[in-house]
Structure 1
Amino acid sequence: MTVRYLTHPQVLIEPDKQVDRWGLNDVGRARVASIARAPALRGTRSVISSAETKAIETAQPIADALGLKLVVREKMHENDRTATGFLVPEEFEAVADRFFATPDLSVRGWERAVDAQARIVAEAMAAIHEAPEGDVLLVGHGAVGTLLMCHVGRMAIHRSHDQAAGGGNVFAFARLSHTLIHGWQPMESLTHSAEASTP
């Protein structure tokens, strides 16, 4: 049995709206639609999402395609960045670099990486424990997804493990042993036979 962690793809950036209320843009919605019935997801028995709009808009079409009820867990949210609010891309990337480079420190009031990691690991493992037997799909965000992957892969927190730009990536680990099966891959890999045959 496999656990997959999928990040939301491209969002509609609305600087005047709270980031957790941003939704997917047309490209993001099209990418989700293209993988909703992917072969690799056929064994999925639970779809679990962060409560943020962009994550739900990613998870819901997949849950619907699989005939499953979407489970929403508040604590799967992205790292808390409310102290700064919206940052222009260049500034955001610089602060994100520091977030990963100094995991024990709060960068400009952001949630510390070590705290965000402890939260996402605890919440993901609780969700997996409560899910019915079978594959599990967790749907969330890039930074906390990377922190979860670092934990599962027994890797130090570092931005070199971060997903590719734009979002819409997936990594997988074994449900029982919690060992990493593969790192970040584009979500479209779910439609390929190699990913579909993941043990």
Structure 2
Amino acid sequence: MFALYITHPQVRIDPDVPVPQWGLSEVGAARAREAATRPWARQLGRIVSSGERKAIETAEILAAECGVPIDIVEAMHENDRSATGFLAPPDFENAADWFFANPYQSFKGWERAIDAQMRIISNVEAALSRHDPQIPIAFVGHGGVGTLLKCHLEDKPIARQGDQPPGGGNLFCFDLANRAISCDWTPIEDWKGWA
């Protein structure tokens, strides 16, 4: 059976609100609702979400369709960028480029990419160790740590080349038996499901 790593779609950006507390924008919520109508969403037997509001809101929309509870794992949060606070989009993109290009160093106090990668891997593996591999599972989280997880599953070095397309609201799929990626980043509303 397969697992999905799903990133939250578009958010309401508010420089006065801490980033982990940002919620979905109208566009993001609409995309999540559209994804929830797809057959794959109804097949989910378990949903594990980051504790950030935007991830929880995405997970709640999916859970309403498949009727399963959400497991919240606080440690599945996005890479910790609180040291710099809000960065305007162009500055954030430059910082993200640096973050991925220098995985063993901290960008102005950010969590290092290698540490964020180890954190997301260990939490996904911990959840899977208590999961029936015959049941489809979705992890709902964030683009940065999702990319770090994907690099690990593909046995590739940390690099932004593996990042999701802009805007969020994408997923990749991997096999629960051998952890092989079977579907690259795909918009959540466009994925057709596992074979």
Q: TM-score if structure 1 supplies the norm length?
A: 0.95
Query: Equivalents in 2 of 1:41, 1:155: separation in Å?
Result: 29
3-state SS, counterpart of residue 11 of structure 2:
coil
Query: Equivalents in 1 of 2:190, 2:124: separation in Å?
Result: 22
The equivalent of 1:18 in structure 2 is 18
Deviation at 1:182, TM superposition (A): 1.6
The equivalent of 1:157 in structure 2 is 158
- Is the CA contact 2:164–2:185 (under 8 Å) kept in the aligned structure 1? yes
- Is the CA contact 2:23–2:54 (under 8 Å) kept in the aligned structure 1? yes
Deviation at 1:129, TM superposition (A): 1.9
Identity in percent: 46
Query: Equivalents in 2 of 1:105, 1:158: separation in Å?
Result: 14
The 4+ residue runs of structure 1 with deviation greater than 4 A are none
The equivalent of 1:37 in structure 2 is 37
Deviates more, 1:96-105 or 1:42-51: 42-51
- Is the CA contact 1:6–1:170 (under 8 Å) kept in the aligned structure 2? yes
Report Cα offsets for 1:69-90 as digits up to 9, x if no partner. Answer: 1110011000000100100011
Deviation at 1:53, TM superposition (A): 0.2
The equivalent of 1:54 in structure 2 is 54
Query: Equivalents in 1 of 2:64, 2:85: separation in Å?
Result: 32
Query: Equivalents in 2 of 1:42, 1:22: separation in Å?
Result: 27
- Is the CA contact 2:36–2:42 (under 8 Å) kept in the aligned structure 1? no
The equivalent of 1:138 in structure 2 is 139
Query: Equivalents in 2 of 1:43, 1:33: separation in Å?
Result: 15
Deviation at 1:68, TM superposition (A): 0.5
The amino acid that maps onto 1:138 is F
Query: Please, which runs of 5 or more residues in structure 2 have no aligned partner?
Result: none
- Is the CA contact 2:42–2:65 (under 8 Å) kept in the aligned structure 1? no
The amino acid that maps onto 1:155 is K
Report Cα offsets for 1:97-116 as digits up to 9, x if no partner. Answer: 00000001111111000000
Query: Equivalents in 1 of 2:121, 2:49: separation in Å?
Result: 14
Query: Equivalents in 2 of 1:14, 1:100: separation in Å?
Result: 25
3-state SS, counterpart of residue 15 of structure 1:
coil
Query: Equivalents in 2 of 1:60, 1:159: separation in Å?
Result: 29
Query: Please, which runs of 5 or more residues in structure 1 have no aligned partner?
Result: none
Query: Equivalents in 1 of 2:181, 2:88: separation in Å?
Result: 33
- Is the CA contact 1:9–1:24 (under 8 Å) kept in the aligned structure 2? yes
Query: Equivalents in 1 of 2:156, 2:187: separation in Å?
Result: 21
The equivalent of 1:120 in structure 2 is 120
The amino acid that maps onto 1:186 is P
Query: Equivalents in 1 of 2:73, 2:8: separation in Å?
Result: 15
The equivalent of 1:69 in structure 2 is 69
Q: TM-score if structure 2 supplies the norm length?
A: 0.97
